[in-house]
Structure 1
């Protein structure tokens, strides 16, 4: 290596004169494959940037003449272009233990939904065209029948997420009027989304009743006045209260609302269409049960327990859904053809409940046996040990997953995975972060969680179909 540290001005100028012509380098054999893959324009830009970096390093005494060789420049340019052209949206291995992880895209779509989206991506579709009449149609009609069949509602519509569903409902039904909500249900969810804030943006006035831990039916009754537009219940899906508490159930609230001529709106949040208890999962009120209990409007997510694409679904009585659909915000918040295609495919799976557990990805992950994860952990452990080296000890251990995205916050699922600790047994600060960073830098990043001075890799969301690819990239970095 011929370092240039300490070169005087004359020597530095002589060294700079060694910088090759850009056109000559591009014409070299070393750059043929790069130009074929990335194109001449991108390659030229990256080469100029590489040479500029070399010049800066040379002036600082850090460069080498060897860095100007065609092969060296090609290697640097190829690495630059690979990083530059890599998609910012990348698939990862979710070993965090949270199945419906908001930061990782929540529910994974089943194969049926993926095929439906692929079909609609490449061909025209009857998004707003009625094939029976030959006239313009309503895009909600593509899913309205299915949703009503599965929930027992009279009508339905869809927007781009549940926050939008709540905003649109309040804007259409309660603008410039009061909405009565229990103080214990004024929740904040991820991204600082707060019920009072969304109510304010919708032009409705919040009327709190009760206290943080106890609300009675008489609190709602006494708060009703000529300015009241509706009564609202919010499912506390991201926290739980225990102890000296009292809430008014929908079954209690609905008769009061009916007697006073007011609608009841329920924000279910996660919104499941089936009783999860039949698969050993925590019990959650279904949309059908909520409608049957007297809710006039119900809002819920499409990408949580439903297991579909991001969407906000609004179901309920026909007169209220019609009013919601006529509101100007509906067009701004409506979903596109990709969401509708995926949503319809997922909803169709619910028509065959006997195969739902196997075909709906979210449900399959939530009900995955811990023993299957234990066996997977033993298969993966040697490859992870080789990658991390003797400094770390890898053990297969039982752990707990969570459903996530505000669904059933206090409930956990028995799981199994791998734990990375210092082999010395010491709790040295920062050591889990080093391994966590290495795993994030893999071609398909691996995301776990750090707790108790160790890195925990929960295998609930690593299905057998992905296991070989997972092990292969660990072995490649060993």
Structure 2
């Protein structure tokens, strides 16, 4: 074994190899990578998994590949042809061009983010988004933080630390990234008091759970799943009446902020911001789901309660950044003006199915390397919204014996392409493909099938 250790190439020798000479990164970074690779070789010899040390040229080539892989990695553009509008794993809501420009302008230079130009002293970043959010939704007050998970934590910490929070067992949700409501409650200092059963919770269950230490009643939107069949739940308005009766706040965590009724567009029965705000003392939702803005957690509610959150030291750790303030501001102004078609998510939800069919026909015409056909499909909102509902769409179908293999190849193109596989067919749902990306999508399909 000692002989093996002596065959490990020295760091300086590896550093002198041609594979590392051409790298544009600092000598210190490269040297750290060489040390790490040699340490791994040494550990492999010690564990008996390496029987012969590679030479200096091989080590240098491995190090070069490691460095390039790490330093040149980053986000890859994706054409979403899956028919999932708010695709969480692909970045949720695409922003409108005006919001993107506002972010770029905010990033390019200095701004009055936390500076009061009139008074010549420190200001608050919330002054740039809080009044606008309040006005947009007609709420008594508002606060905006990093995301809805942050909003939940801040609300519970501010209003119910050391107090009991009454919640239905059917609403103890876990969403993506192992975000679990019980664990967040524990972290906030609130004491969770479960009521009812998984499939049935009655008003009497809430009433029987009330104690002198009750601090909050919470109603949670069931993101990504639904309880159907032999089930029962208490409506928000009923919980509001109970909360008023006992003098504690009602908090509604609606998850995905649906700004208006989607029934005319084939998605009935979803909670809406105005509907929840009518009964809730405090309400929170995501900015980057159905609202169509950047990542943000939007809190609406009574002034006295929201002010307690604003003054909570935790607020600083969860605060929204300047880029999100800039882009959310644009999104809210468009929403307030009724210019929904300029917000990509809302445009996709509300657009005519004939427009989607036209895009599908255009894609089919551009596909020249394989047979394709235009077919009716069903698209979904995604992002935890309307988990059991879909609505009409159109797409392009390519039937092949190796659908999964071709899909894997499509994911390696630039931009990458993600679609659906149904039976032995690739389905390119055009609900989520903008007209500006049709040519790119066709080129990638032709490339893979050539």
* Class of the TM-score when normalised by the shorter of the 2 chains: 0.7 to 0.9
Kindly report the root-mean-square deviation, in angstroms, between the aligned alpha carbons of the 2 structures. Answer: 3.2
Residues 22 and 185 of structure 1: CA distance in aligned 2, closer, same or farther (over 3 Å): closer
The alpha-carbon deviation at position 277 of structure 1 amounts to 3.0
* Equivalent-residue separation in structure 2 for 1:272 and 1:301 (angstroms): 9
Tell me, what secondary structure is at the counterpart of 1:206? strand
Is residue 435 of structure 2 the alignment partner of residue 464 of structure 1?
yes
Is residue 296 of structure 2 the alignment partner of residue 308 of structure 1?
no
1:159 to 145, 151, 155: 145
* Equivalent-residue separation in structure 2 for 1:22 and 1:131 (angstroms): 57
* Equivalent-residue separation in structure 1 for 2:272 and 2:191 (angstroms): 29
- Give the structure-1-normalised TM-score: 0.78
The answer for the alignment partner of 1:345 in structure 2 is: 330
The alpha-carbon deviation at position 79 of structure 1 amounts to 11
Residues 112 and 283 of structure 1: CA distance in aligned 2, closer, same or farther (over 3 Å): farther
Deviations 1:281-325 (A, max 9, x none): 4342322222222x1111100000110001111111111111112
The alpha-carbon deviation at position 202 of structure 1 amounts to 1.3
The answer for the alignment partner of 1:449 in structure 2 is: 420
Q: Is the Cα–Cα contact under 8 Å of residues 410 and 444 in structure 2 kept in the other structure?
A: no
* Equivalent-residue separation in structure 1 for 2:73 and 2:234 (angstroms): 49
1:276 to 217, 240, 262: 262
The alpha-carbon deviation at position 410 of structure 1 amounts to 0.9
The alpha-carbon deviation at position 116 of structure 1 amounts to 0.7
Q: How many residues align?
A: 408
The answer for the alignment partner of 1:414 in structure 2 is: 392
Please identify, of 218-227 and 336-345, the stretch whose mean Cα deviation from structure 2 is larger.
Answer: 218-227
The alpha-carbon deviation at position 224 of structure 1 amounts to 0.7
Instruction: For structure 2, list consecutive stretches of 5 or more residues without a partner in the other structure.
Output: 1-15, 35-63
Which structure would you say has the larger Rg? Answer: 1
Tell me, what secondary structure is at the counterpart of 2:330? helix
Q: Is the Cα–Cα contact under 8 Å of residues 183 and 209 in structure 1 kept in the other structure?
A: yes
* Equivalent-residue separation in structure 2 for 1:453 and 1:475 (angstroms): 18
Residues 258 and 400 of structure 1: CA distance in aligned 2, closer, same or farther (over 3 Å): same
Q: Is the Cα–Cα contact under 8 Å of residues 383 and 474 in structure 1 kept in the other structure?
A: no
Deviations 1:235-287 (A, max 9, x none): 12322222232221121111221121111111011012222234454342322
* Equivalent-residue separation in structure 2 for 1:369 and 1:278 (angstroms): 11
* Equivalent-residue separation in structure 1 for 2:67 and 2:375 (angstroms): 41
Residues 455 and 471 of structure 1: CA distance in aligned 2, closer, same or farther (over 3 Å): closer
- Give the structure-2-normalised TM-score: 0.82
Tell me, what secondary structure is at the counterpart of 2:388? strand
Q: Is the Cα–Cα contact under 8 Å of residues 234 and 266 in structure 1 kept in the other structure?
A: yes
The answer for the alignment partner of 1:375 in structure 2 is: 358
Residues 361 and 271 of structure 1: CA distance in aligned 2, closer, same or farther (over 3 Å): same
